[in-house]
Structure formats: C-alpha cells, structure tokens
C-alpha cells in the first residue's frame, strides 16, 4: 500500500517537475524573444525609455516593420504627445526642435488635413506659420497655396477672399494679393525704406520719402536727350550705351525725362488733375512720392518727332522692344497690365533693373510688381 502511495507521489512530483520545467522553458523563450525585440529596437537607436513606451502601446511589431529610427516618434512618446492614429505621420515628418512641432502634427490631423497635405505643410511652412494656419478652419486646397515661396500665411484670409472674387490661378492670387491688389490703389500705402536700391519697388502701394533724392545723379550726354535730364550714374551709362547702339542702327532714340523731385512730381500731377480730373489723371500720372522718376532709375524716351504719344509707332520703339533688356531696362507699364500696375500702357517709360532681371521679366512677360513679389520680397 505504501509502495503504491509513494509511486503516485513520485508520478505527481514528476508531472509537477515537467510542468514547472515547461513553464521555465516557456519563460526563457518569451524573455529571449522580448530581449531580441529590445535589442533590435536599441539597434535602431531608440532609447530604453522609448522602448518601454513602444511596448506599452503594443507597437513593437509596427516599429520593427518600419525598421528605422524616427526622432519624431521618439519625441512624441517621451513627451506624452503620442497619438496612435498618427503613427505613420510621425515617421514621415522629419523632427524639428520646436515646442509646437508635435502638437502641430496632432492638431493638423484633428483639423481634417490629410497625410499628404500635412507632409507638404511641414515641407513648406515653419512651426510659427503652421500655428497661424491652425487659426483657420480646414482649407481643403491648402497644398495649392503653400508650394509658392512667396506665400504668406498672414495673407491667407485675403487670398481666400480674393480667390472667391476672381478666376485667377493660385500663383496669380498670391502674387496679386501680396502686391496689394485686393485693396484699391493708393490704400495700405507703405513708405519705402531703401529707396537707393536698384531693385526698389515704387508703385501705388509704396511711396518714397518726400525728401528722397538719389546721391549719384548725373546728366545724360546732351546729344542723346531732348532736354537736359539726370539719371543715376549706372542708369545713365546704360541708357547712353543703348542710345548709341540705336544710333549705329540709324535710329534716333532720345531721353526726354529722367529724375523728377517730389515737388516737381507734385506740380505735374496737380496740373494733370486740373486738366483731366483725378480719376483720369491717376491712370497716367503718379501722385507725388509714387513716381519712379524720383528714384533716378526711370527714363521716358522718344523717337525723332519727340512725341511720347506717337512713340509706339516709331522704328525706334520696334528696335527698343527687341533690345531694351540687353541694357538692363524694362518697359515698366506694359500693354494689358493696367490692372496690376495701375497705369495705362506707356511704351516710352523705361525702368532700369539690371540685365539679368530685365531679361527674366521680358522672357516671362511679367510686370516689375509681380517680379518683385515673386523673387525679391522674401519672407
């Protein structure tokens, strides 16, 4: 009897040992596997603390599938700003060391932006701009705006309103709003801070200081003008070169108006207003402080009959149309661009901007206002 009991005991003991043994082996395997995952994640460069969080979120396999490190993911986990549905986005968006960075990713998702849009938003905007974008409701075509490097998030509301009123393309909307064209001419006027710059923009939204006179004015060669005019030295040289070249082609291209002071411009504008009324005068004459002639960078030219109004019909103009950019000039108030420049077509009014800018403007059929916004008015 005793022998039977001790045999049973022995069997039970054996079974217990086997179970305990199996359990131990199972634990060892599990631990080994966990260690393997841990090691793999360490190898990818994740910190131990991050790995704990990855485990807690049950994401080991997902992270291992990506098989790469993401600083954005790590930071979202370490700062407790991780949202599981945004897992893929954390991987796609390169980390930026900014307190608003991860909150901005999460907020953009909540606002309804899709993955592609969010990736583009982070490609083109910084976190300060994104924070401002988030003041707006979802803009479903946001990617059409932000790709232009002259997009200004501060003008977003104006772009949206202007877009509703016009059928212009996105880049036209952005350019024209940045120029100020969503408001009437001569509104929101800014004073020009650097009137000496060769690329200074003077238009109906930007005025020169009343007292501004360029400090390097010099008279243009008497043979090349109708009456004495002054231009800035670089412009004078360019014009003389161009006019001489025209002459060697049997043409007679002469300057008739160059630098004009604020007071001269004021008198001229007031005279035109007295003749034609303000509305009409504004189409062809600049208000004082808004004339390019005050910069010493602009010149009006005529042919042999010395008439501005007839200039378009002259051989001189035909030649000029082909060659003006080679000397650094642009036709500042082109045909069919009055809605941008605010001035009727003036084939005779040349503005100096230098050869490379003049060539670009000619090639792309732009006004200087558009060029300035797209290339010079950087954020």
Between the alpha carbon of residue 295 and those of residues 202, 207, 229, the distances in Å are 9, 11, 13
Name the residue nearer to Zn ion (CB basis): 325 or 349. Answer: 349
Task: Report the C-alpha gap between 379 and 369 in whole angstroms.
Answer: 16
Total residues belonging to the chain = 379
Q: Which among 143, 240, 316, 346 is annotated as catalytic? A: 346
User: 158 or 236, CB closer to Zn ion?
Assistant: 236
Gap between the Cα atoms of 288 and 210, Å rounded: 8
Which residue is at the shortest CB distance from Zn ion?
349
Beta bridge partners of 257: 300
CA angle, residues 85, 88, 94, in degrees to nearest 5: 125
Six-digit token string for 309: 């109004």
- The least CB distance from residue 298 to Zn ion, in Å, is 5
Binding-site size, Zn ion (CB under 5 A): 2
Cβ distance to Zn ion smaller for residue 240 or 300: 300
Token code pair at residue 338: 């009055």
Is 191 within 8 Å of 173 (Cβ atoms)?
no
Smallest separation, CB 295 to Zn ion (Å): 11
CB of 291 to Zn ion, least distance (A): 8
Nearest distance in Å: CB 300, Zn ion = 4
> 3-class DSSP state for residue 333?
strand
Cβ 88 to Zn ion, closest distance in Å? 58
* Shortest reach from residue 176's CB to Zn ion, in Å: 23
Contact positions with Zn ion (CB under 5 A) in 338-367: 349
189 vs 308, beta carbon nearer Zn ion: 308
Residue with Cβ nearer Zn ion (158 or 332): 332
* Residues of this chain, 297-326, that bind Zn ion according to CB under 5 A: 300
Inter-axis angle of helices 48-56 and 71-78, to 10 degrees? 80
- Residue 346 annotated among the catalytic residues of the structure: yes
Nearer Cβ to Zn ion (236/349): 349
Helix (H/G/I), strand (E/B), else coil: 278: helix
Q: Residue 289 in 3-state DSSP?
A: coil
Cβ 350 to Zn ion, closest distance in Å? Answer: 8
Is residue 254 close enough to count as binding Zn ion by CB under 5 A?
no
Give the nearer residue to Zn ion in terms of CB position, either 53 or 349: 349
3-state secondary structure 38-92: HHHHHHCCCCHHHHHHHHHCCCHHHHHHHCCCCHHHHHHHHCCCCCHHHHHHHHH
- Cα 15 vs. chain centroid, distance in angstroms? 77
C-alpha separations of 297 from 196, 227, 236 in Å: 10, 17, 9
Helices and strands (H and E) in the chain: how many: 18, 8
List binders of Zn ion among 261-300 (CB under 5 A). 300
- Residues forming the active site: 346
Residues that bind Zn ion (CB under 5 A): 300, 349
């Amino acid at each position: 009897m005793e022998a039977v009991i001790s045999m049973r005991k022995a069997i039970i003991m054996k079974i217990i040992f086997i179970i305990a043994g199996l359990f131990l082996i199972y634990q060892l395997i599990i631990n080994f596997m966990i260690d393997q995952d841990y090691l793999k994640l360490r190898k990818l460069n994740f910190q131990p603390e991050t790995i704990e969080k990855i485990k807690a979120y049950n994401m080991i396999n997902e992270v291992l599938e990506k098989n790469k490190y993401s600083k954005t993911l790590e930071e979202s986990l370490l700062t407790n700003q991780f949202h599981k549905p945004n897992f893929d986005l954390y991987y796609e968006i390169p980390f930026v060391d900014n307190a608003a960075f991860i909150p901005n990713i999460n907020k953009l998702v909540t606002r309804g932006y899709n993955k592609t849009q969010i990736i583009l938003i982070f490609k083109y905007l910084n976190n300060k701009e994104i924070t401002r974008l988030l003041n707006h409701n979802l803009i479903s075509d946001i990617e059409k705006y932000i790709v232009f490097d002259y997009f200004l998030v501060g003008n977003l509301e104006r772009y949206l309103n202007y877009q509703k009123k016009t059928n212009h393309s996105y880049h036209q909307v952005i350019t024209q709003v940045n120029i100020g064209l969503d408001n009437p001419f001569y509104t929101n006027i800014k004073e020009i801070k650097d009137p000496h710059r060769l690329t200074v923009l003077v238009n109906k939204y930007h005025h020169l200081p009343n007292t501004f006179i360029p400090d390097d004015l010099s008279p243009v060669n008497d043979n090349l003008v109708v009456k004495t005019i002054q231009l800035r030295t670089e412009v004078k040289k360019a014009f003389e070169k161009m006019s001489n070249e025209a002459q060697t082609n049997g043409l007679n291209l002469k300057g008739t108006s160059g630098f004009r002071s604020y007071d001269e411009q004021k008198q001229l504008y007031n005279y035109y207003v007295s003749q034609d009324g303000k509305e009409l005068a504004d189409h062809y004459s600049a208000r004082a402080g808004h004339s390019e002639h005050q910069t010493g960078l602009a010149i009006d030219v005529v042919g042999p009959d010395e008439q501005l109004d007839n200039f378009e019909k002259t051989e001189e103009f035909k030649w000029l149309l082909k060659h003006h950019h080679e000397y650094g000039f642009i036709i500042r108030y082109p045909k069919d661009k009055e809605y941008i420049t605010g001035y009727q077509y003036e084939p005779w009014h040349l503005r100096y901007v230098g050869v490379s800018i003049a060539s670009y403007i000619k090639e792309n059929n732009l006004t200087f206002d558009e060029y300035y916004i797209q290339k010079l008015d950087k954020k």
